[in-house]
Amino acid sequence: MEKNQALHVYIKEEILNRIKSNIYKKGEKIPTELELCKDFDVSRTTVRTALNQLTLEGYLVRHQGKGTYVAEQKVKQTLSHTVKRYSDQVAVQGKRAEIVLVGIQVIPATELLQQTLQVAPNDPVQRIERVRKANGEPTQYEIAYIPWSVAPGVIKEHAETSLYAAMKDVFQIHIAKTTEHVEIAFADERIANQLDYEEGLPCFYIETIAEDANGKIVEYSRSYFRGDKTNFVIERNYPNE
């Protein structure tokens, strides 16, 4: 243990190492709090603090009256260049992907949408709310805005497969570039409800602006990802100069 490191932090790291090294396997029950107390020679409060943090971070799941289990692996998504759909990224991890449409409505462009989408005041914009799931569990809540002039008449079938594929195949709009801003946000009542998540818990928040080959902005979206169900992979290539 590192000098001045809190005991519960050390225990948390040790348990996490056991999960990552497959000593504690996915879906299996881990030792009881009492057994962990004896293993690490610490108090129950210290062990409980470590387990609570790992539970909040999505590595453990506690079942009332049954014990604590290793959670399913988080859904990985890449933030680097990729043409893979959400369903493809999830499928290679052995999970079943699902996109559920919450609602589509046409709204007049607000000041923010005018600036972001570069449209005129009150221009019609489609507001598309969706929830993405992996194995039936919500992982992402997204609100996308697409000008009516770009892709008029987005329907449920488009929204519950791939919006970008529909824009290309149906509306002949090729997404050539996206710019994404990543932050940490905390789930409010609406987000918590859509993600089946506890209000106040942390989420990854990503704002995306999509452009076509001519640099025209064709979509603006806001996405919230459950912090306990999602992690991201960033790949960088370094040319040999």
Q: The whole model's pTM is what?
A: 0.71
Q: Over the stretch 121-170, which tens digit does the pLDDT of each residue have?
A: 999 999 999 999 988 889 999 999 999 999 999 999 999 988 999 999 99
Specify burial of residue 46 (Cβ count, 10 A radius: 0-12, 13-18, 19+): buried
Residue range 46-65, pLDDT digits in tens: 999 999 888 887 789 998 88
Beta-carbon contacts of 49 under 8 Å, excluding residues fewer than 6 positions away, are 8, 12
- What are the start-end ranges of the H helices in the chain? 7-20, 33-40, 44-56, 86-91, 111-117, 156-159, 163-169, 189-195
Average pLDDT over residues 25-34: 93
Cα–Cα distance measured from residue 209 to residue 218, given in angstroms and rounded to the nearest whole number? 8
Q: How would residue 28 be classed by pLDDT, with cut points 50, 70 and 90?
A: very high
Question: What average pLDDT does range 202-211 have in this prediction?
Answer: 90
pLDDT (mean) for 95-124: 91
Residue 91 binned pLDDT confidence (cut-offs 50, 70, 90) = low
Query: How many angstroms separate the CA atoms of 42 and 29, rounded?
Result: 21
Neighbours of 176 (CB within 10 A): 13
Average pLDDT over residues 165-187: 90
Q: Cα separations (Å) of 231 from 5, 24, 69, 75? A: 26, 20, 20, 6
